[in-house]
Amino acid sequence: MAKESNLIVKIKLAQNGDQHAFRFLLELHWNDVYRFMLQRTQNDNEAEDLTIHCFGKAFEKIVTYNNAYSFKTWLTTIAKNLHIDLIRKKAITTVATENSQEEAQNIADDAPDPEDDLIRKQRLETLLNNIKTLKPHYREVIQLRYLHELSIKQMSDVLNSSESTVKVKLMRARKLLEEVLAQKPE
């Protein structure tokens, strides 16, 4: 019972913005959410990304948490919904790709034209410039994760930080980058 009351206290602290409480909740529930995602995705990188996204969403909406329900159940529900969103996005992409392939069969040259290459390069350059606007420690975790494709464990070794610190930094960096991208018109 003392463990449960400590959890409720940490949740209330997190609802008031306490960063130590966020870290406590992340460390306490990371493995459960990660295993849930890994079981569903069968892919380490996808499971890590979805787990980070799950905690980001949970911490963003933590004030809506109702302690009549288990916190772990609440997190699992968020994780399940994120996975469903991923499946839907993949299904839409698959349908779009199949339609594009049918159209592409009617075209003799399937190589990207110079205009497509230019647009792709400009988008990548814009993304890299937006990453550069982040504070150095956030920029570094984004680059290690998405440009160098390192795992959380590898990142913690490179950064000489605990895995939980890397997870929190990556979660914050992703949120900040999303905010920067949302402010900029395409």
- Using one digit for the tens of pLDDT, what is the confidence trace for 38-59? 999 998 888 888 998 999 899 9
Q: Check whether residue 10 and residue 80 sit in a common domain.
A: yes
Q: What is the CATH number of the domain that holds 178?
A: 1.10.10.10
- Note the pLDDT of residue 100: 57
Contact 81, 67 (CB under 8 A): no
Mean pLDDT, the chain cut into blocks of 10 residues (186 residues total): 79 90 91 92 89 90 88 92 85 62 52 67 74 85 84 90 87 84 70
Number of domains in the chain: 2
Last residue in a domain, options 78, 110, 142: 110
Q: Give the C-alpha distances (Å, rounded to integers) separating 25 from 22, 61, 108.
A: 5, 14, 55
Q: Check whether residue 64 and residue 115 sit in a common domain.
A: no
Nearest to 139 by CA among 162, 160, 159, 119: 159
Q: Check whether residue 73 and residue 121 sit in a common domain.
A: no
Q: Check whether residue 157 and residue 180 sit in a common domain.
A: yes
Helix, coil or strand: residue 6: helix
Q: Check whether residue 142 and residue 178 sit in a common domain.
A: yes
- Note the pLDDT of residue 108: 46
Structure tokens at 81: 């919904």
Last residue in a domain, options 77, 110, 143: 110
- Note the pLDDT of residue 36: 93
Determine the structural domain holding residue 83 and report its residue range.
1-110
Last residue in a domain, options 87, 110, 133: 110
- Note the pLDDT of residue 144: 86
Nearest to 177 by CA among 121, 137, 149, 138: 138
Q: Check whether residue 77 and residue 164 sit in a common domain.
A: no
Q: Check whether residue 47 and residue 101 sit in a common domain.
A: yes
Q: Check whether residue 46 and residue 62 sit in a common domain.
A: yes
Q: Check whether residue 1 and residue 76 sit in a common domain.
A: yes
Q: Check whether residue 126 and residue 103 sit in a common domain.
A: no
- Note the pLDDT of residue 119: 73
Q: Check whether residue 90 and residue 157 sit in a common domain.
A: no
Q: Check whether residue 79 and residue 122 sit in a common domain.
A: no
Nearest to 152 by CA among 178, 173, 126, 125: 173
